[in-house]
């Protein structure tokens, strides 16, 4: 009973040291599960990497399912943080091109790791639909942030009146995820580079021409 109360203790009631320990466990678990896969990462692997005891693991996480949920959230935070400030200013063709270049250049420099969220989703889809849905929710948030910027473009008149910001955002994110999967599979940045070039060309065709005052 004591352990159950510990696991249900809100984070706001944890000590600073306790919060730091929990964060360290999540960070190591995220690194291991993204690099080695969820199925190939045991609680003991995480415990040894984080330098914590079995009782500490049980104190902060009810089970592996609970920990995987925290890993998904941490991976999503890393992805979103890595795309700043582009996602906050996704409201011009130049900004979107810069965002695509960021994604492509990161894959090139990091050895084509793909997308951690996409990798987690692929592994969980047939194994744990509830956790896969958690990844989907983060993907939906990602697409919504892109859509907000595209809607600003439309409101300014930069996009044509029949342009659909939500559809464009979904196409950009879906294309990115497919490109990242192929880039990870092949170890070559060309797939993600090709699809992003194609999608941005399509977006460009839906923009209104800049007025000429000459």
Tell me: the pLDDT tens digits for 93-118?
999 999 999 999 999 999 999 999 99
Predicted pLDDT of residue 14: 76
Q: Does the pLDDT at position 10 exceed 80? A: no
CA–CA dist 79, 74 (Å, integer): 9
For residue 213, name the pLDDT band (cuts at 50, 70, 90).
very low
Q: Does the pLDDT at position 61 exceed 90? A: yes
pTM of the predicted model, to two decimals? 0.88
Q: What are the pLDDT digits (tens) for 27-60?
A: 999 999 999 999 999 999 999 999 999 999 999 9
Predicted pLDDT of residue 109: 97
Predicted pLDDT of residue 8: 47
Predicted pLDDT of residue 2: 36
Predicted pLDDT of residue 214: 45
CA–CA dist 199, 184 (Å, integer): 19
Percentage of the chain lying above the pLDDT 70 cut: 92
Predicted pLDDT of residue 205: 95
Q: Does the pLDDT at position 4 exceed 90? A: no
Average pLDDT taken over every residue of the chain:
92
Averaged pLDDT for residues 154-173: 96
Structure tokens at 119: 């990798």
């Amino acid at each position: 009973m004591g352990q159950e109360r510990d696991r249900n203790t809100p984070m706001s009631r944890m000590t600073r040291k306790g919060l730091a320990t929990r964060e360290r466990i999540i960070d190591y678990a995220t690194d291991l599960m993204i690099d080695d896969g969820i199925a190939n990462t045991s609680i003991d692997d995480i415990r040894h990497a984080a330098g914590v005891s079995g009782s500490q693991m049980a104190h902060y996480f009810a089970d592996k399912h609970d920990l995987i949920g925290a890993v998904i959230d941490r991976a999503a935070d890393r992805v979103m943080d890595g795309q700043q400030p582009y996602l906050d200013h996704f409201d011009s063709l130049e900004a979107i091109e810069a965002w695509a270049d960021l994604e492509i250049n990161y894959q090139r420099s990091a050895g084509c790791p793909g997308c951690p969220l996409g990798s987690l989703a692929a592994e969980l889809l047939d194994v744990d639909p509830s956790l896969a849905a958690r990844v989907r929710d983060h993907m939906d948030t990602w697409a919504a942030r892109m859509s907000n910027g595209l809607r600003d473009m439309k409101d300014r008149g930069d996009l044509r009146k029949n342009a659909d910001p939500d559809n464009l955002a979904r196409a950009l994110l879906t294309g990115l995820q497919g490109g990242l999967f192929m880039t990870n599979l092949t170890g070559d940045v060309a797939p993600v580079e090709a699809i992003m070039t194609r999608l941005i060309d399509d977006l460009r065709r839906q923009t209104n021409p800049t007025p000429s005052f000459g």
